[in-house]
Structure 1
Amino acid sequence: MAIRRILLQALSLVSSLTPVMLLYSGVGVLANTQSPVVVVLSGSMEPAFQRGDILFMTNPPHQQYRTGDIVVYKVPGAEIPIVHRVVQARDIVQQQENTEEDVRLPADGDVKWFMQPEVKAVSWRSEDRENGKSVRDQLILTKGDNNDVDDVGLYIGFDRLQRKHIVGKVRGFLPYVGYASIVMNEMPRVKYAFFAALGLASLF
């Protein structure tokens, strides 16, 4: 009987968590992002966001990011996503074919060249979108409001972010609500104690 009771309580706990997981997944589908909610883990965006704030994001497929937008991005090789502000965003437009395999991207200037698998060579200018040219992607530079330098050193092997690296644009936040998750991640004993207490509570 005791085992049956424990199994029933465990089933009840799983049943109570399932709607939450489904809701989270549904919000992710509507927002076009795998992580519609994230927790701020550092103070790099102070005073706009504090450590422990919960951010809500969307990532519409045709969203064009602009200077001043606050975005969350994740690059290959990075363990966690980063929330920082866009300080430079340029549209990539198809300009002409180029068979060169190695074209460098200068730091400044009106016309830049950037290699992509689907477009052999493209140029980008801030005015291209207004001139009606076909925008294929974007080159994005970010920086934390509380940091002295931009994020190029965090991009691991390239000079600018592209849209595929953007998890979403911040649309709103709740202050400090996510601090408990930071405590549990930084103090594993607290996390284990919390889940143990949750499991015991489900038995009564």
Structure 2
Amino acid sequence: MEFMAQANKKFGVRSLLVQGLTFLSVLTSAFMIWKGLSLFTNSESPVVVVLSGSMEPAYYRGDILFLHNGYSPIEIGEVVVYKVKEKPIPIVHRVLKVHNDNTSGKQFLLTKGDNNNEADDRGIYNPGQKWISRDDIIGRVRGFVPYAGMGTIWMNDYPQLKMILLGTLCVLSLFTNE
């Protein structure tokens, strides 16, 4: 409490309000850019980080993938990111087989990771599920940046690193005049 009183005296209430508004405008801008990208790419998550080595040698842990979810049919060999219902983490795998249901017009996919995976992904899908539907696809990989997402992985693997980074940013924002 005494620290905040000293900060108020040193910087003034007006300065603290300006810093708070600046912080909020940065957050709002980031959110708007994310939503704009989501609309442009037709994907709920246009950028993802590879969390495992299941797609090596095509993509390695820490690679950032850029996704697009166009309306054209998905083809065998494409790398897709999909989400299995009731499982929180999206999966990056290659399409192994495609089944087009002519009666409903829906497309169903069977996927598999590249890295020495003996079996397809049916063991990852929900029990009894043999295919994922086109609706489960978050996006198709359209580009990547190698290892650029390692910071995200480190912060997930070491939560104390995330707290240190956030604390440092908060302290710096209090003592910066700009």
Question: Under a length normalisation based on structure 2, what TM-score does the superposition of the two structures give?
Answer: 0.87
Q: 1:137 aligns with which of 97, 106, 113?
A: 106
Q: Quick one: distance in 2 between partners of 1:24 and 1:89?
A: 31
Could you tell me which residue of structure 2 aligns to residue 16 of structure 1? Answer: 26
Could you tell me which residue of structure 1 aligns to residue 57 of structure 2? Answer: 47
Instruction: Tell me how far 1:21 sits from its aligned partner.
Output: 1.8
Q: Secondary structure at the match of 2:87?
A: coil
Could you tell me which residue of structure 2 aligns to residue 69 of structure 1? Answer: 78
Q: Quick one: distance in 2 between partners of 1:198 and 1:65?
A: 43
Consecutive unaligned residues of structure 1, counting only runs of 5 or more, are: 95-118, 120-135
Could you tell me which residue of structure 2 aligns to residue 82 of structure 1? Answer: 91
Instruction: Tell me how far 1:10 sits from its aligned partner.
Output: 2.4
Question: Under a length normalisation based on structure 1, what TM-score does the superposition of the two structures give?
Answer: 0.76
Instruction: Tell me how far 1:32 sits from its aligned partner.
Output: 0.6
Q: Decide whether the 8 Å contact of 1:40 with 1:49 is kept in 2.
A: yes
Structure 1 runs, 4 residues or longer, greater than 6 Å off: none
Q: Decide whether the 8 Å contact of 1:10 with 1:202 is kept in 2.
A: no
Whichever residue aligns with residue 114 of structure 2, its letter is D
Instruction: Tell me how far 1:54 sits from its aligned partner.
Output: 0.4
RMSD across aligned C-alpha pairs, in angstroms? 1.4
1:151 aligns with 2:127: no
Q: Answer 1 or 2: higher relative contact order, Cα 8 Å, separation at least 6.
A: 1
Spell out the pairing of 1:19-30 with structure 2 (5 A cutoff).
19-30=29-40
Whichever residue aligns with residue 145 of structure 1, its letter is D
Residue identity over aligned pairs, in percent, reads: 44
Instruction: Tell me how far 1:9 sits from its aligned partner.
Output: 1.6
1:195 aligns with 2:162: no
Q: Quick one: distance in 2 between partners of 1:55 and 1:155?
A: 22
Instruction: Tell me how far 1:148 sits from its aligned partner.
Output: 2.1
Greater helix content: 2
Tell me how many residue pairs correspond in the alignment: 163
Spell out the pairing of 1:164-203 with structure 2 (5 A cutoff).
164-203=135-174
Could you tell me which residue of structure 1 aligns to residue 101 of structure 2? Answer: 92
Q: Secondary structure at the match of 1:180?
A: helix
